[in-house]
A and B are shown apart, each in its own frame.
Chain A
Amino acid sequence: MLLPPDLVAQLERLELVTRKVFRGRMKGERRSQRKGQSVEFADFRNYVPGDDLRALDWNLYARLDKLIIKLFLEEEDLHFYTLIDASPSMDFGEPTKLEHAKQLAAALGYVGLVRADRIRVETLGGAQSPVLRGRSSLPRMLEYLDGIEPEETATLEEGVRGFCQRNHGRGVVVLISDLMDKRGYESALRYLVAQRMDVYVIQVLSQEEIAPEVVGDLRLVDCEDADEAEVTITAPLLARYQQTLEAFTAGAQHYCNRRGMAYLLASNETPVKDLVGSYLRRGGLVR
């Protein structure tokens, strides 16, 4: 179940945050740079012919006998993209990393739908959901998320590049992936940076990657490219693996932070509830 009731209750109180103010396409619940028709007062200006007569401040006209238009702040919607890595490597762990990613996407999407943001879920393979808006779109989003299978073969870079080509608008993009790409994650993230989007990178790792419990002489087979690595598990090797893993995650975090991206490491065993409630909140994605 992607959205358990208690999680929904928690999500109701949250809203998506962007550190940048973008122009939305439709009226939403977000303050925009444009003046609009919210209830919040912004400024006055002289009436010029063609202005909406409903915006005239009749009280001022009575006092000053001048036609003054009252401007209000415009509220807009937010473009919120969730980019899910659906490669076979995500099909590991209990629950699988993909399950975890879907749950996370559902939670964030729900927050966005509730706040009338413009939500779109995509996978790296290029599959994309329709643009979703409003609480009523929740079943459609969940249905779409359910349909994602870990069968895609696109690399991280290809996926991100495709995403950027398809979506020109600015907005918030959350990339949920394990970043395990032999060609590196840097080029992929660079596309996102170039898009000038507000990027959140959530690296999902399974517990067996974080602390592998394997023994003996093994031939490790990569599930994606069938690459093999022969290892004899020893205590020093495991220690070294930990070092490598830490270096890898630390490198990703460092890379993201320097480019204005938010980075978050998530284990598949950390409940989404906790993740959204504390980590993402601290990370500034939700409020």
Chain B
Amino acid sequence: MNELFRNTLSPGQWAILAAVPPAILALYFLKLRRQPLEVPSTYLWSKTIEDLRVNSLWQRLRQSILLFLQLLLVALAILALLRPGWQGTDLTGQRLVFVIDNSASMSTEDAGDAGDASRLDVAKAKVEGLLDQMDRSMSAMILSFAAEPRVVQQFTSNVRLLKERLATIRPTAEATDLTGALELASGLANPAGLSVQEGAPEVEVVDPEPATLFILSDGKFADVDGFALGNLEPVYVPLGSRETGNLAITNLTSRVSETVPGARTVFLQVANYSANAADAVVELRLDGRVREAQRLSIEPGGLAGASFSLDTPGGALEATLSQVTLDKLDDRLALDDRAAIGLNDPEGGRVLLISPGNIAVEQALATARTERLGLIDSQPPSILKTAEHQRLAAAGAFDLIVYDRCVPDELPRANTVFIGAVPPGERWAPKVDAEAVADDTSEASVVAPQIIDWNRAHPLLANAELGNFDIVESRVVRSPVGGATLIDSAEGPLAAIAPRDAFEDVVIGFAILVEEDGRVQRNTEWINRHSFPTFWLNTLEYFLRDTSGNAQSVAAGQTIEITPTDPTATAVTIVGPGGVREELTRRGAQPFVWKAGSTLGVYRVLEAGEETQRFGVNLLNRVESDVRLSVGTPDDEQQAAIASVRIGNIEVAASAGAAPARQELWKPLLVAALALLAIEWWVYHRRVAL
């Protein structure tokens, strides 16, 4: 398809077109049936024409200027229909798959001829150029991918439709994942066409057709392992430049100060993805007002952090890199020049202790530090039967429920700690093996187990020394799949933690206090050790982490659950940075689910018209922020070639200067033909002297 001309008409249409010049000639000569006119004498006229005939060929040309203009017009039209052009890319195969990256880094404005168009725009332009070169027998499919792939247009040979759909691809602020797109492309390009008939072998109905896979991306994704391209012929078209510098905010967090009530510490990280050292000025704004600014010196390729102290209860916190800094470094990606988080009022977690009476745990939960973390409520086990409690528990009104020697009928939508009890349901049920049945013990309980190890790496047991107490009796806790053992004894695990949906359950196999013969007795010496209050403090910090007013940041494309402050709320409104409102409703106790779009900034959650929460949607992705095209390994002979992409076991080299759109001439030709038509008209009407 790289030839000079491309045929656009069928032979029949060509035949019709070929009849036009003879028709013009015929009409011309028909028209030349001259009008007879009687004159006194042709003497002078003949003399006049004789003079003109001296240089007759040119004179004849002059006389038939209209004919020549018309023939030229037709010639131009024919030439335009032949679509002369050059520099096209060979499109092989009958089916094309265009996979276009629209992740955050594709918004970098360093592509194109002038180097100031966004990579995505250039990718779309290149695809459009390739679509122009499609034959009618070819079909193409367009996919876009960021964090998730999307089918933009299924296979079709309708170039107009493909172009229309191509234009709908919008830049996102998401990360890049090529695997999903490849799987989608492979699945759609080679649909499994198996015909299964009874008593007959499986027959492939659809022969797998080869397809060319164009990947238009800047390569900000990991190599794809364990994926076979099959009959897809990959072409990697890299976009962007290797030298593009970028200054990015790669982290922005805030923590409520533990020492000073009401104060917060904001931590900020700025990365310099360029070849030059940079002095970055970071401005911190709270609800639009500048609160702090700091200058950071960052080495090329380095990171720099800054922390700020703020004494504010809540608001929208925005960090921006100053424009001067960005201009100096020629920053081409705007998405990561700012980051925003929502500071929520520290409201404290809601902790419910359901216990028949446990002075040890109550006291451990009543220290000054634990009180700052959350509101602790203590209730007897009888509350488990009340409808009010069941509704609240199911609605997720609590952050943590401690069940001391009691078990709810149904696990609540909250984190739980079970003391001396096992959650209901199959998951935590001890393995019923033949031996246990033989022992005639319904529960695998052990007497005086010896603690031999505990999970020091887990935050719950941070700074806790557990080797120095005895336990009278405990049951062996077997965590379900995905869980982790916290305390291990010679007889088996005594405590374990396991995730459940968005929550985690901690099960401690032994009771702290037991009631025996009406007296309360200790079941363990642990309550006398330092590690006991430490464990409970860890527990509160671990589970109430997200509710302590520490800001959370959401990545674009991520789906989050929003827990309303009012557990009975059935609708919340989310107000985006531009004031766009989005209503979320739910039925029953389901959490509100919201998927972050690509508009970055602070989102506010309104409940019944009142702002209750804020959260920020940010890029904060180092891979996406490093917009320089990765360079191939130095031992490549090519000077600093752009790194190839590995898909499965295939290295897909970056096609240098790949996929140039065909330079077409038919538009200027048509314009010239129109101009010619105008000239012809003028000549015809004015009888121009030549």
Binds A, one of B29-37, B115-123, B415-423, B575-583: B29-37
Of A89, A214, A215, A235, the contact of B689 (CB 8 Å cutoff): A235
Tell me whether B42 and A232 are in contact (CB under 8 A).
Answer: no
A227-B36 Cα distance, complex, nearest whole Å: 12
**Given A217-B35, A218-B37, A180-B43 contact (CB < 8 Å):** yes
Chain A residues, CB < 8 A from B38? 220-221, 223
Binds B, one of A20-28, A50-58, A119-127, A239-247: A239-247
A180-B40 Cα distance, complex, nearest whole Å: 8
Of B32, B51, B689, the contact of A217 (CB 8 Å cutoff): B32
Confirm or deny: B687 has a beta carbon within 8 angstroms of a beta carbon on chain A.
yes
Tell me whether B40 and A219 are in contact (CB under 8 A).
Answer: no
Residue interface mask B613-624, A partner, CB < 8 A = 1: 000000000000
Tell me whether B42 and A206 are in contact (CB under 8 A).
Answer: no
Tell me whether B40 and A223 are in contact (CB under 8 A).
Answer: yes
Tell me whether A224 and B51 are in contact (CB under 8 A).
Answer: no
Counting chain A CB atoms within 10 Å of each CB, the highest count among B38, B41, B45, B688 belongs to B41
Of B31, B42, B44, B63, the contact of A228 (CB 8 Å cutoff): B42
* Majority-rule SS of A interface residues: mixed
Tell me whether B687 and A234 are in contact (CB under 8 A).
Answer: yes
The size bracket of the interface on B is: 20 to 34
Tell me whether A231 and B45 are in contact (CB under 8 A).
Answer: yes
A244-B537 Cα distance, complex, nearest whole Å: 121
Chain A residues, CB < 8 A from B62? 234, 236
Tell me whether A236 and B690 are in contact (CB under 8 A).
Answer: yes
CB distance from B449 to the nearest CB of A (A): 120
A157-B528 Cα distance, complex, nearest whole Å: 157
**Given A229-B46, A234-B687, A89-B34 contact (CB < 8 Å):** no
Residue interface mask A230-265, B partner, CB < 8 A = 1: 111111110011011100100000000000000000
**Given A206-B40, A221-B39, A229-B45 contact (CB < 8 Å):** yes
Tell me whether B45 and A220 are in contact (CB under 8 A).
Answer: yes
The A73-129 residues at the B interface (CB cut-off 8 A) are 89-90, 92, 97
Tell me whether B44 and A227 are in contact (CB under 8 A).
Answer: no
Chain A residues, CB < 8 A from B587? none
Chain B residues, CB < 8 A from A181? 43
**Given A180-B40, A227-B42, A237-B52, A244-B35 contact (CB < 8 Å):** no
Chain B residues, CB < 8 A from A245? 44
Q: How many residues of A contact B (CB 8 A)?
A: 39
Chain A residues, CB < 8 A from B688? 235
A220-B41 Cα distance, complex, nearest whole Å: 9
A186-B44 Cα distance, complex, nearest whole Å: 16
Confirm or deny: B457 has a beta carbon within 8 angstroms of a beta carbon on chain A.
no
Taking CB as reference atom, which chain B residue is nearest A224?
Answer: B41
Taking CB as reference atom, which chain B residue is nearest A221?
Answer: B38
**Given A232-B63, A234-B63, A89-B41 contact (CB < 8 Å):** yes
Confirm or deny: B519 has a beta carbon within 8 angstroms of a beta carbon on chain A.
no
Tell me whether A180 and B35 are in contact (CB under 8 A).
Answer: no
Taking CB as reference atom, which chain A residue is nearest B50?
Answer: A244
Confirm or deny: A143 has a beta carbon within 8 angstroms of a beta carbon on chain B.
no
Taking CB as reference atom, which chain A residue is nearest B36?
Answer: A219
Tell me whether B52 and A229 are in contact (CB under 8 A).
Answer: no
Confirm or deny: A182 has a beta carbon within 8 angstroms of a beta carbon on chain B.
yes
Confirm or deny: B481 has a beta carbon within 8 angstroms of a beta carbon on chain A.
no
Confirm or deny: B638 has a beta carbon within 8 angstroms of a beta carbon on chain A.
no
A44-B235 Cα distance, complex, nearest whole Å: 134
**Given A214-B37, A240-B52, A220-B42 contact (CB < 8 Å):** yes
**Given A234-B63, A235-B689, A248-B44, A219-B37 contact (CB < 8 Å):** yes
CB distance from A30 to the nearest CB of B (A): 38
Confirm or deny: A198 has a beta carbon within 8 angstroms of a beta carbon on chain B.
no
Tell me whether A218 and B34 are in contact (CB under 8 A).
Answer: yes
A230-B52 Cα distance, complex, nearest whole Å: 12
* 10 additional A-B residue pairs with CB within 8 Å, beyond A182-B43, A221-B37: A89-B41, A92-B40, A209-B40, A209-B41, A219-B36, A220-B36, A222-B41, A229-B45, A234-B63, A234-B690
- Listed A/B pairs (15) with beta-carbon separation below 8 Å: A92-B39, A180-B41, A208-B39, A218-B37, A220-B45, A221-B38, A222-B43, A223-B41, A227-B42, A234-B689, A235-B688, A236-B689, A237-B52, A244-B48, A248-B44
Q: Which chain A residues have a beta carbon within 8 Å of chain B's beta carbons?
A: 89-90, 92, 97, 178, 180-182, 206, 208-209, 214-224, 227-237, 240-241, 243-245, 248
Which 9 pairs show the lowest CB-CB distances between chains A and B? Answer: A180-B41, A219-B34, A89-B40, A235-B689, A222-B42, A229-B42, A92-B40, A229-B45, A217-B34
